[in-house]
Amino acid sequence: MNRWRVGAVTMAAGACALGAAPCSAAGRATYEMPVSVNPINSCTVSATPLIFMIPVPTNANVDSTATITIKCPPLTAFTIEIDKGLYPNGINRRVYNATYNAYINYDVYKDPPRSAVWGTGPARNVAGNSGPLGLVVMPVYGRVAAVKTIQAGGYNDTLTITVTF
């Protein structure tokens, strides 16, 4: 009786392999996963736009927030500086409207209360470290001071962010 069972199993396996009988054996799926290693020895920086929505006229400060993203090798120390933009006037940053040849003062800050101006040099830059993941996202706090007389329309500026590592 044992001989017959062994023979029956062998015959069933052979029939399955030849496609003569339906098979109920478990299957197997494979996938080739791409792997890449990209050592970096520098940092990159990007930022979201700083957008102010100002009612006309306004008698109050208008605040906004943007973010700066820094990618560096892990545990890299760095400093971030933000220049005065395209239309500075003394210590003021300004946005410009070409249609009206008009400016509005604004500034960017390191802190939520908007008391520490973010700029250039040791007293105005921000120091940081990329940490174990090599990625840091930092907020930038912007403010347009109360402006009583402004023309409606688009005002623009461009700030240059410099990361030194």
* Domain positions in the chain: 44-164
For the cut 60, the answer to whether the pLDDT of residue 6 exceeds it is no
What pTM does this model have? 0.74
- Strand blocks (E) in the chain: 44-47, 62-71, 77-82, 93-97, 102-109, 126-129, 135-144, 161-164
For residue 143, what are the CA distances in angstroms to 32, 61, 64, 77, 119? 51, 7, 6, 28, 14
Whether a cis peptide bond, with omega within 30° of 0, leads into 22 is no
Do residues 65 and 140 touch, judged by C-beta distance below 8 A?
yes
For the cut 50, the answer to whether the pLDDT of residue 99 exceeds it is yes
CATH 2.30.110.10 fits 44-164, yes or no: no
pLDDT band, very low/low/confident/very high, at 165 (cuts 50, 70, 90): very high
Give the mean pLDDT of 20-27: 63
